[in-house]
Structure 1
Amino acid sequence: MRYEKHKRRKKRTSTTILLAVLLLVGATAGYSYYQYKQGVNQSLEKINNENEENNVNEEVYTFDGKKDQYGATNILLLGSDAREGEEKSRADTIMIAHYNEDKGTYKLTSIMRDIYVNIPGHGKHKINSAFMRGGPELMRKTIKENFDIDLQYYAIVDFEGFVQLIDEAFPNGVEINVEKRMEDYIDIPLEPGLQRLDGEHMLSFVRFRHDAIGDFGRVQRQQQAIQAISDQLSGIQTIPKLPKLMGVVTPYINTNMDTGDILFMAKDFFAKDRGNIETFRIPIENGYKDASIKGEGDVLDLDLKMNREAFHQFITQ
């Protein structure tokens, strides 16, 4: 009799614990969704108030992506330089984010937009024109043909989304060293020195390229900015902020990734306090020569074999 009472009491305790866990999971999921929707509505309200055309989410692209031969996930990141009234644009920024779940590694490759490569079905051109000619799918095919790597996902980011994300994640700005005065062809000039930059100033920092080293300097600053953002945002305390941050950027991004996939990768990164992101650039040092091509202007003529081998070494090490 005493055994039966103990057994019933134990069963009730187990049921209570299970219900408590389910309620906690449900509450967490509900709160995360609420925060996500708050972020989405915040950005949509800003877009409507400023009468901005949010074109980035409107076009539906096909993308025949898959994991690479090493079992890793590669995400094609594109920033478009579309101007008001233009239907098609070249890619202003081309990056590949590499995520290897088994190794727990996060890496980033920047592809300079003036490299001169074969674009499937179009002949040789600057790589940034692949986006204009055939969207992210043609860019995927171009990277696969020239560098023998598969891309599973794509994300086209409106630069205003970058501004909003920085302002939401860093109310006091991102600490970064501005190495020189920057003022040509950017909306907000920057003074040199270690300082905290809000979203608009950070956008000027990552887009500036009108100096002696041109696009090479811009790519270097983009990688510097991503590392600074990663370092200052990393840590377990960031995880509760992720749903709202995702919501804030969603109206400014066109991607074939599910929100759940993005949150999973982000949580894995921040939960393990990885912080450091290894970076790489194509072309590599001494892996190209400057050239001038009729109809294309100044280009970077690659030693394709050398760059491909170095690229694969980077993503597999």
Structure 2
Amino acid sequence: MPKGKKNKPKKKRKKKRLIVWILLILIGLTAFGYMKGLMSTKFDKNNKQADVGHFSGEKSGDGSTNILLLGSDSRGEDQGRSDSIMIAHYDNKTKQPKLVSIMRDTFVTIPTDSGPENNKINAAYSYGGPELVRKTIKDNFGIPIQYYAIVNFESFPKIVDTLAPSGLKIDAEKDLEVEGTVIKKGPQKMSGEEALQYARFRKDAESDFGRVRRQQQVMSALLQQGLNPLNAWRFPEAVGKVQGYTQTDIPFGFYPKSGMSYLFSKHKPLEILTVPVEGTWSDGYYDHAGSVLEIDTQANGQAIKNFFNK
């Protein structure tokens, strides 16, 4: 038998061992980065999170994932009303991220323990945390939600600074000022605090409509810049920090599976929908709720389903 053929098994074994060692090193570095990011949040004395109770997540029938994203104005001390309500949707097959923003003044039926109550959708969080918001969305729009994530005003800037340490590139649509933070119109790199105040501003003629649009602008920038393949080496530590600064039931395994799936895909831009959709709402007022958006729930539920399935 020729000498070259005798050496092949040894070369194959060496190659396999090298691959195994490389994988072990990558796994070790990933675990180290994640724990480093997570532990840094544990030593942050300002990282206070309220107990939000049990969440009964429901999987989608088509294998995609729906995540309830809540921006809380409680600042970690108590359970106030949700400042923003979004549904993040991701399909591992199409690699398409989508985001639905639900206007917080949307008038819906909330299934409280004492019976159905008609009120603004953001009251559901105050009454029963993310679980009641999940039930409210399912009952009104027919959309199942598997996981939740809550970010309060104290944590959001830290998450932005983690995902975009050199600043978040935003083309500010106007001059504005919120709580002493001044932002000028035009392209710029925003710090986490500036991005928060930009997304919160609503003291103009557009009120909540403009605020939701700016929230979507910030979320799109975070996805595009924070999950850039060039930043893949920072991803484990960023995931640890985001996990630590967020109240969530998203399992750790979801991040590498979906995050890497998106990182190394064609990197599709975030698609966005605002609810209520055009032509399905009108202004209303009730003594117990104040100014509200009265909506056609069936039309909006169908709009969300069409958006997710297109």
What TM-score, normalized to structure 2? 0.92
Q: Does 1:13 align with 2:11?
A: yes
Match of 2:97 among 83, 98, 106: 106
Q: Does 1:115 align with 2:87?
A: no
- Structure 2: gaps (5+ residues): none
Correspondence 1:147-158 to 2 at 5 A:
147-158=141-152
Cα contact 1:238–1:270 (8 A) shared by 2: no
Check 1:235–1:172 CA distance in 2 against 1; reply closer, same or farther (3 A cut).
Answer: closer
Paired letter, 1:167: D
Partner Cα separation in structure 2 for residue 41 and residue 291 of structure 1: 47
Match of 1:91 among 82, 93, 104: 82
Partner Cα separation in structure 1 for residue 105 and residue 184 of structure 2: 28
Match of 1:23 among 21, 30, 53: 21
**1:32-55 C-alpha deviation (Å, 9 max, x unpaired):** 11111222233334x23xxx2511
- Structure 1: gaps (5+ residues): none
Q: Does 1:270 align with 2:269?
A: no
Deviates more, 1:11-20 or 1:103-112: 11-20
User: Percent of counterpart pairs with the same letter?
Assistant: 36
Check 1:198–1:90 CA distance in 2 against 1; reply closer, same or farther (3 A cut).
Answer: same
Check 1:155–1:234 CA distance in 2 against 1; reply closer, same or farther (3 A cut).
Answer: closer
1:83 Cα deviation after fit: 4.5
Paired letter, 2:23: V
Check 1:75–1:92 CA distance in 2 against 1; reply closer, same or farther (3 A cut).
Answer: same
Cα contact 2:228–2:263 (8 A) shared by 1: yes
Cα contact 2:47–2:155 (8 A) shared by 1: no
SS state at 2:183 partner: coil
SS state at 2:182 partner: coil
Check 1:238–1:254 CA distance in 2 against 1; reply closer, same or farther (3 A cut).
Answer: same
**1:162-186 C-alpha deviation (Å, 9 max, x unpaired):** 21222233233122122222124x3
Correspondence 1:40-189 to 2 at 5 A:
40-45=38-43, 47-48=44-45, 52=46, 54-56=48-50, 59=51, 61-83=53-75, 85=77, 87-121=78-112, 122-184=116-178, 186-189=179-182
**1:23-81 C-alpha deviation (Å, 9 max, x unpaired):** 11110011111111222233334x23xxx25115xx26322222223332101111111
Check 1:75–1:272 CA distance in 2 against 1; reply closer, same or farther (3 A cut).
Answer: same
1:84 Cα deviation after fit: 6.7
Runs of at least 4 residues off by over 6 Å: none
Partner Cα separation in structure 2 for residue 60 and residue 88 of structure 1: 8
Match of 2:305 among 307, 312, 317: 312
Paired letter, 1:179: E
Q: Match of 1:286? A: 279
Partner Cα separation in structure 2 for residue 173 and residue 84 of structure 1: 25
Match of 2:213 among 208, 217, 220: 220
Cα contact 1:234–1:275 (8 A) shared by 2: no
What TM-score, normalized to structure 1? 0.90
Paired letter, 1:130: A
Cα contact 1:235–1:273 (8 A) shared by 2: no
**1:84-143 C-alpha deviation (Å, 9 max, x unpaired):** 75x321111110011112222210000111111011134111111111111111111111
RMSD over equivalenced CA pairs, Å:
2.0
Match of 2:194 among 197, 201, 204: 201
Deviates more, 1:201-210 or 1:13-22: 13-22
What is the count of residue pairs matched by the alignment? 307
Cα contact 1:77–1:94 (8 A) shared by 2: yes
SS state at 1:99 partner: strand
Partner Cα separation in structure 1 for residue 84 and residue 111 of structure 2: 20
Cα contact 1:81–1:90 (8 A) shared by 2: yes
Partner Cα separation in structure 2 for residue 19 and residue 124 of structure 1: 63
Partner Cα separation in structure 2 for residue 284 and residue 26 of structure 1: 49
Check 1:65–1:43 CA distance in 2 against 1; reply closer, same or farther (3 A cut).
Answer: closer
**1:222-244 C-alpha deviation (Å, 9 max, x unpaired):** 11112223333444222222101
Partner Cα separation in structure 2 for residue 285 and residue 53 of structure 1: 39
Cα contact 2:47–2:245 (8 A) shared by 1: no
Cα contact 1:166–1:199 (8 A) shared by 2: yes
1:10 Cα deviation after fit: 2.7
